[in-house]
Amino acid sequence: MQQTKSEKLFAKAQKYIPGGVNSPVRSFRAVGGTPPFIARGSGSHIWDADGNEYIDYLGSWGPLVLGHAHPAVVDALIKAAEAGTSFGAPVAQEVDLARFICASMPSIDMIRLVNSGTEACMSAIRLARAHTGRDKIIKFAGCYHGHADGLLVKAGSGAMTHGIPTSAGVPESYASETLVADYNDLSSVEEAFAAFPEGIAAVIVEPVAGNMGVVPPAPGFLQGLRRITQEHGALLIFDEVITGFRLEAGGAQARFGITPDLTTLGKIIGGGLPVGAYGGRREIMELVAPLGPMYQAGTLSGNPLAVAAGLATLQELTRPGTYEKLESMAARLTEGLTEVFDRKEVPSTINRVGSMFTGFFNHGPVASLAQVEQCDVPGHARFFHGMLENGVYLAPSQFEAGFISLAHTEEDIDRTIAAAEAALA
């Protein structure tokens, strides 16, 4: 049978790039098959190298909340590029983006722009350690904060023994400074602080988990983290790389009424270009070089192209009705899919917060990693491919989030629901 263009490209890519991809989850190993090589996107649709069209619910894993090739973003990029792509020197646009973010999130007095969510989280943890003089951090099993060594860690044997590396190349000594607690389980956090009363610099958390699939915070969970960290003199870091400007302009911290000490951002604030950021109270941020002793740097941090795309995106999001539209379209989708799954008697539950969602192949509820791990992963993979064949591109992993953009239409949603009907036939 004639190879598709994507198959040929994938074979070629695997000669030069590990796994043929520049980020593992794109390889489709979680769902099987050959990943379509995407040729272009416009609005809520993408086209692959063979000309197949898809309704896109990945949106580049979250950044494209406006949809693909939004005119405001493209125009801003053209204008910026014509004036030069990077100077390694201060430019006015990075001040504009920083000011915009600070104005949107009251917990952030000052912010440092970097090039990825990984950099943002890595730097925020270093800053928390510098501020507290403590070495240990707490993360949650199932949450992901980028690939810095100390964050590629799973729970140790005992409840609160040292973390164990989840990746080759991470020294035990690095992993040992990371304690792994259970999401939505405050007692596991209390245990960690009891075990290391003066030793924990920070708790880093996805305020809405997206990296085990979407798992909302249980009532009181985030408030509990705020209380416990305050009691123990540790910082609370909200990793809002996904939720920042996704759930609302003020992010999850506005939605849930929590004031973290530090916030990390990414994805949407770059509008599809590489931007990450970390920020927080002035007294903490003033520790960051060149002001203070905590070092962090980056050649392309705050470059004119990336901040132009980010600023254009954030400005578009200020239009009246933006978040109401995202919410209503996402509800239309998940309610429609739930009706189909229920009618087909597929054991499933859909978790949604705002315009981020995951359909779990699990009768639910799914409120913890343990429940996530009970999912029918092969069933998800079959559904994923059924949807792909019907022109719908979902996240190629059961343990990831899907996203609605402002470009999605009611017709997109209705076609998606029809595709699910066909995929489950």
Would you please indicate which residues are annotated as catalytic (active-site) residues? 144, 239, 267
Length of the chain in terms of residues written: 425
C-alpha closest to that of 146 among 268, 264, 18: 264
H-state helical runs in 147-301: 172-175, 186-195, 221-232, 251-256, 282-285
CA gap 217, 184 in Å, rounded: 6
**Binding residue (CB under 6 A) for ligand KE4 from 64, 66, 241, 353:** 241
Task: In angstroms, give the least distance from the CB of 321 to ligand KE4.
Answer: 27
* CB-nearer residue toward ligand KE4: 186 or 306: 306
Task: In angstroms, give the least distance from the CB of 241 to ligand KE4.
Answer: 4
266 binds ligand KE4, rule: CB under 6 A = yes
**Binding residue (CB under 6 A) for ligand KE4 from 93, 104, 107, 116:** 116
Task: In angstroms, give the least distance from the CB of 242 to ligand KE4.
Answer: 5
DSSP state of 410: H
211 binds ligand KE4, rule: CB under 6 A = yes
Q: Which residue is nearest to ligand KE4 (CB)?
A: 117
Long-range contacts of 3-7 (CB under 8 A, 24+ apart): 4/34, 4/49, 4/50, 5/37, 5/48, 5/49, 5/50, 6/34, 6/35, 6/36, 6/37, 6/48, 6/49, 6/50, 7/34
Q: Report how far apart the first and last C-alpha atoms of the chain are (Å, whole number).
A: 26
144 binds ligand KE4, rule: CB under 6 A = yes
Structure tokens at 243: 């939720």
Which region among 11-19, 86-94, 139-147, 165-173 touches ligand KE4 (by CB under 6 A)?
139-147
**Binding residue (CB under 6 A) for ligand KE4 from 5, 19, 25, 292:** 25
* CB-nearer residue toward ligand KE4: 25 or 164: 25
Per-residue contact string for residues 349-388; x = within reach of ligand KE4 by CB under 6 A: ----------------------------------------
Task: In angstroms, give the least distance from the CB of 119 to ligand KE4.
Answer: 7
Task: In angstroms, give the least distance from the CB of 415 to ligand KE4.
Answer: 25
Task: In angstroms, give the least distance from the CB of 205 to ligand KE4.
Answer: 10
* CB-nearer residue toward ligand KE4: 105 or 340: 105
**Binding residue (CB under 6 A) for ligand KE4 from 55, 58, 121, 225:** 121
Cis, bond preceding 365 (omega within 30 deg of 0)? yes
Which region among 47-55, 206-214, 247-255, 353-361 touches ligand KE4 (by CB under 6 A)?
206-214
Q: Within 304-323, which residues bind ligand KE4 (CB under 6 A)?
A: none
CA gap 389, 352 in Å, rounded: 24
Residue type, 258: I
* CB-nearer residue toward ligand KE4: 152 or 201: 152
C-alpha closest to that of 357 among 249, 267, 264, 243: 243
Q: Within 394-413, which residues bind ligand KE4 (CB under 6 A)?
A: 400
Task: In angstroms, give the least distance from the CB of 422 to ligand KE4.
Answer: 27
Per-residue contact string for residues 39-68; x = within reach of ligand KE4 by CB under 6 A: ----------------------x-------
Residue 200, exposed/middle/buried by CB under 10 A (0-12, 13-18, 19+)? buried
Which region among 44-52, 182-190, 238-246, 300-308 touches ligand KE4 (by CB under 6 A)?
238-246
In the chain, how long is the greatest CA-to-CA distance?
65
Residue 319, exposed/middle/buried by CB under 10 A (0-12, 13-18, 19+)? exposed
146 binds ligand KE4, rule: CB under 6 A = yes
Task: In angstroms, give the least distance from the CB of 239 to ligand KE4.
Answer: 5
H-state helical runs in 250-376: 251-256, 282-285, 304-316, 322-343, 369-372
Which region among 141-149, 303-311, 346-354, 385-393 touches ligand KE4 (by CB under 6 A)?
141-149
* CB-nearer residue toward ligand KE4: 107 or 358: 358
Q: With CB under 6 A as the rule, give the number of residues binding ligand KE4.
A: 19
Q: What share of the chain is helix, strand, coil (3-state, %, to 5)?
A: 40, 20, 40
Beta-sheet strands, E only, within 146-199: 153-154, 164-165, 178-182
CA gap 312, 190 in Å, rounded: 42
Question: Which residue reads 């915070």 in tokens?
Answer: 217
Please compute, for residue 27, the number of CA atoms within 13 A of its CA located in the half-sphere on the CB side. 14
Residue type, 61: W
Which region among 66-74, 112-120, 284-292, 343-351 touches ligand KE4 (by CB under 6 A)?
112-120
Instruction: Give me the residues that bind ligand KE4 (CB under 6 A), please.
Output: 23, 25, 61, 116-118, 121, 144-146, 206, 210-211, 239, 241-242, 266, 276, 400
